[in-house]
Amino acid sequence: MKSTQEGQWRIAVGLGSCGVAAGALDLYHHLESILDPARAVLRKTGCAGLCHREPMLELYAPSGEHWTYVHLDREGVEQIARDHVGRNQPVEKYLLNGASRAEAVNRYLTKQKKIVLENCGAIDPESLDAYVAAGGYRAIRKVLQTQKPAQVIETITASGLRGRGGAGFATGLKWKFTAAALGEQKYFICNGDEGDPGAFMDRGVLESDPHRVLEGMLIGGYATGASIGYMYVRAEYPLAVKRINLAIEKALAAGFLGRNILGSSFSFEIRVREGAGAFVCGEETALIQSIEGDRGMPRIRPPFPAQKGLWGKPTTINNVETLANAPWIILHGAEAFAAMGTEKSKGTKVFALAGKIRYGGLVEVPMGITLREIVEDIGGGSISGHPVKAVQTGGPSGGCIPASLFDTRIDYEELNRTGAIMGSGGMVVMDDTACMVDIARFFLAFTKKESCGKCTFCRIGTQRMLELLTCITEGKGTDADLKLLEELAVKVKSTSLCGLGQTAPNPVLTTLRYFRSEYEAHIRDKKCPAKVCKALLTYTIDSKTCVGCTVCARICPVKAITGDRKKPHFLDQQKCIHCGACVEACKFNAVRME
């Protein structure tokens, strides 16, 4: 990589998956072709969390002054190269901190606290030198030179760090169990098998700061006595896989991995395993089976992985975000981490904001902040203009929390009291156009499909629950079905073998708890209040509004609409299949949906 020379401008283009999807890679290559290499050097960064502002770039003047440009296109980068880099004239139209964006940017950033994401979007994820310059690998150096494994565990324990993968188990305690287990060979696994719809926290970190995760694995491996680590990441994340492999290669060459790391007696190697996309492999024992080459299915516990894990050896498993916290805690101290958050939930939490949210992306907030602050202040509320109705936390394993409970704090216990869970950090925002019965059906369809089928209640219970929900959304449900649905949800939750089955009913139970009236409307009134469930909708044509343009008749797939040109049309209810094509096609709002 070409180094920056004195007097040169530096341009860093965000090339995480979100940026690439928005066209940033094409803009990067265009900049390569038009920039004067004597005047400016071009670099890559990962995702800065502002996914809603992509494509974006950071511009650094030789003086050190810094600008962020967003929502870029080819014309924009050409203007920046010509006017800002060439003539020192900022291009207001694309500036993140421009007059029209300043307030929104301030609301988005001021309530965040970046620990896990501190390097994301700020350094080149493919450069070891960039990570080292940002303080990288100082934590493992400190550990190897000044601390014994037990001291590292004490520090992590004192920090109050809990696993960010969903259950919130104390990280220090997990490390302590593996360290105390008998066995010469021990393993350390990073769980990057992120499978929740709407979740992209792990992907963002792995793509934008891979060395940070490797350093967390090194610290954990040293503390627990492991000599081999596995990075398990789903194959659907090709950019993350590429950058993790590159980071391992460069860390090995620099002596941060391999034999006698940094001249110590500690040796550690990391191997990458790509998952095939099975949601159940987010459960640690199913993940272990997958690494071993078997079908990913959970095992009965005990024994727990700390005693008998990968190939029967003591094993620790932490997710990406958990490990990315470890270097910061070692460098800044347990007290600094524990000073943030609540009594039982310390530090920060990364969330992926998705759904009907104005400012979607990755955010990192102190534990204890409220849902309202995240959704309304940071996320900017609904992008549709409709009121926010609920937020789904924890993905398919989580629950739907209504807007009336948005003053709930981000805390493991507080969220559990609502019937939802923290999960790994997916947060899907829904406005009042969402049908909560259909939402429950959608998430249950996902978990039913992803069930490994090992235990009866998960295999058959989720299938039966899905059938009941489908009946209700089609207007065929009864009060007895509603009672059976709730009964099944409770039993599946209490009798399933692993976390997938135990949490699969959460979307059903929380929507029944907070939005029961919607279920009752579907069953008793045969109506969907949100006008989402097509089987319960009736389409009519208003004869006073219809101008007889014939568009609806031409687009109807079953020829249910008839009428002469320039005369009101008629919709045959017996033929109508409720597809909604006529509503979308009519420019005169003559087709009514009730």
pLDDT tens readout for residues 327-363: 999 999 999 999 999 999 999 999 999 999 999 999 9
Is residue 104's pLDDT more than 80? no
Amino acid 542: pLDDT: 94
Element counts in the chain: helices (H) and strands (E) = 26, 17
Which of 100-104, 106-110, 222-226 has maximum average pLDDT?
A: 222-226
Q: Which residues contact 580 (CB under 8 A, 6 or more apart)?
A: 534, 537, 539, 593
- Model confidence, pTM: 0.92
Residue with tokens 């789903």: 234
Residue ranges matching CATH 1.20.1440.230 in the chain = 436-525
Under CATH, what is the fold of the domain 436-525? de novo design (two linked rop proteins) (1.20.1440)
| Cis-peptide, bond into residue 55, ω within 30° of zero | yes
- Region 47-57 average pLDDT: 95
Residue ranges matching CATH 3.40.30.10 in the chain = 9-110
Q: Which two tokens stand for residue 47?
A: 């995702």
Return the closest-CA partner of residue 323 out of 233, 420, 422, 447: 233
Q: In what order do the strands lie in the sheet with 315-319?
A: 269-275, 228-234, 187-192, 315-319
Is residue 242's pLDDT more than 90? yes
Q: At what angle do helices 210-224 and 138-146 cross, to 10 degrees?
A: 20
- Region 388-393 average pLDDT: 96
66 vs 343: CA distance, rounded Å:
38
- Angle in degrees, CA 304, 308, 309, rounded to 5: 85
255 vs 248: CA distance, rounded Å:
11
The CATH class for the domain spanning 348-431 reads alpha beta
Instruction: Give the chain's length.
Output: 594
Is residue 479's pLDDT more than 80? yes
Amino acid 99: pLDDT: 65
**CB atoms near residue 55 (< 10 Å):** 25
Is residue 523's pLDDT more than 70? yes
Q: 83: which strand partners?
A: none
341 vs 345: CA distance, rounded Å:
6
Residue ranges matching CATH 3.30.70.20 in the chain = 538-593
Q: Which residues contact 416 (CB under 8 A, 6 or more apart)?
A: 422
Q: How far is CA 243 from the centre of its chain?
A: 18
Q: How confident is the model at residue 100 (pLDDT cuts 50, 70, 90)?
A: low
Is residue 105's pLDDT more than 90? no
Q: How confident is the model at residue 4 (pLDDT cuts 50, 70, 90)?
A: low
Amino acid 1: pLDDT: 45
Residue ranges matching CATH 3.10.20.600 in the chain = 348-431
Amino acid 166: pLDDT: 77
Amino acid 5: pLDDT: 62
DSSP letters, 179-219, are HHS--S--EEEEEE----TT--HHHHHHHH-HHHHHHHHHH
Amino acid 169: pLDDT: 94
Q: What average pLDDT does the chain have?
A: 94
pLDDT in tens, 432-472: 999 999 999 999 999 999 999 999 999 999 999 999 999 99
Q: Which residues contact 414 (CB under 8 A, 6 or more apart)?
A: 342, 408
**Residue 287 contacts residue 274 (beta carbons within 8 Å):** no
183 vs 219: CA distance, rounded Å:
19
**CB atoms near residue 387 (< 10 Å):** 11
Return the closest-CA partner of residue 222 out of 162, 267, 172: 267
CA distances from residue 433 to 353, 373, 430, 529 in whole angstroms, order as listed: 18, 22, 8, 9
Residue ranges matching CATH 3.40.50.11540 in the chain = 128-338
Residue type, position 132, single letter? V
**CB atoms near residue 583 (< 10 Å):** 16
Q: Name the helix (H) or strand (E) containing 354.
A: strand 348-355
- Taking the CA atoms of residue 229, residue 173, residue 205 and residue 242 in that order, the dihedral angle to the nearest 10 degrees is 10
513 vs 516: CA distance, rounded Å:
6
- Region 114-133 average pLDDT: 97
Is residue 299's pLDDT more than 60? yes
The CATH class for the domain spanning 538-593 reads alpha beta
Q: How confident is the model at residue 494 (pLDDT cuts 50, 70, 90)?
A: very high
Return the closest-CA partner of residue 241 out of 273, 276, 211, 212: 273
Pick the CATH number of 128-338 from 3.10.20.30, 3.40.50.2000, 1.10.220.110, 3.40.50.11540: 3.40.50.11540
pLDDT in tens, 537-565: 999 999 999 999 999 999 999 999 999 99
Pick the CATH number of 9-110 from 1.20.1630.10, 3.40.30.10, 3.10.20.30, 2.60.40.740: 3.40.30.10
Return the closest-CA partner of residue 54 out of 94, 92, 86, 93: 94
